[in-house]
Amino acid sequence: LACTKPLEGRGWDQKANEVRRKIRSVVTISAPHYGTCLADSWLASWAENRVISWTSPVPDALRLAWHLLRLVPEERHVVAQLQLAHPKDVVNFLRQVAFHRELIGNLRPSYMEGVRATHKAEPGVSLTCFVTGTPLRHDDERPSDSFFTDMYGLTKGDGQASPPVDRCRRLLEDLINTRSDLVIRSPHSQMPASIDATLNDGVVNTVRQIVKPDKAEEVGGFVVADHADVLGHYDRQDSLIEGSPYNAGLFHSGAGFRDDEFFRLYRRVAQAILKTIPGAQRVEEPEVDIVSIQPA
């Protein structure tokens, strides 16, 4: 809706234009603007056409399934306390995935790069991109677990990047080196040794989350986190109550993402939206390092 024409190339109809006229800002977090190499992996090919792709790498599939199953006993103390979804909701979700497998093709880098080359942003609509990524960790303090390691490997691709994507990489690298205030990270995290095309958050390649490589002002921040972290799926522990975490993260990347980083990110999201609202009253306050309350 924020482009001058829809994906299929035809013009917008009257109903769509009524909505489009009201759009003033678009904020994206971990969005695959130039696709994701995960959509080119054997896992995506199998999901897209399970019958034809039955010959996909069996050892890789078995290893991924085993690492996923290992999460159950590792997180049993958390799972026992969580409110599970209704079985009907789970079935509906799986049905939607099965009926919309064509979305995998739409997320392939080659397809999305073609879309970016032929579609222009609507003038007057502010865009802010928050970019996520975290390196694999093999240290003793916060090692990445097996499941995240598998997903990271499926997403990293072959390291090749088209000219527009490589310009996005150079832009992000320059911003990280010159604008440390744009980085949101836990003190327990590790910064990537380098910004390259393979860096990702377990689902989307980091440098593919930027739209315009010549618009530094459209990058709202670089978040050292995995894809699930920024959606709120991270290990949460009430600092005032002892006991087990009451919310378990999907990935355990080793980024150490917690409430402090989550609220810092979404505060910046709110600020990006407020800037586009005429007459909106906002008070610019310095960001605090700690927003959670620690026990005495």
pLDDT of residue 78: 39
Residue 51 carries which side chain, given as an amino acid letter? V
Distance CA 128, CA 26 (A): 6
Give the percent of the chain with pLDDT over 90.
51
Distance CA 212, CA 206 (A): 14
Band (8; pLDDT cuts 50, 70, 90): confident
pLDDT of residue 278: 79
The pLDDT mean for the chain works out to 80
CA count, 13 A, side-chain hemisphere, 143 = 6
Band (77; pLDDT cuts 50, 70, 90): very low
Distance CA 136, CA 264 (A): 23
- Asked whether residue 95 carries a pLDDT value surpassing 80, the answer given is no
| Residue 292 falls inside a structural domain | no
| Residue 210 falls inside a structural domain | yes
| Residue 80 falls inside a structural domain | yes
Q: In the chain, how many domains are there?
A: 1
pTM of whole model > 0.85?
no
Angle, alpha carbons 269-270-271 (nearest 5°): 90
Determine phi and psi for 128, rounding to 5 degrees: -130, 125
| Residue 133 falls inside a structural domain | yes
| Residue 8 falls inside a structural domain | no
| Residue 9 falls inside a structural domain | no
Mean pLDDT of 86-95: 47
| Residue 296 falls inside a structural domain | no
Q: End-to-end CA distance of the chain: give it in Å, rounded.
A: 50
Per-residue model confidence as pLDDT tens digits over 162-176:
999 999 999 999 999
Band (34; pLDDT cuts 50, 70, 90): very high
Q: Which residues contact 226 (CB under 8 A, 6 or more apart)?
A: 132, 134, 148, 201, 202, 203, 251, 253, 255, 257
List the domain range (segments joined by +) for residue 59: 14-274
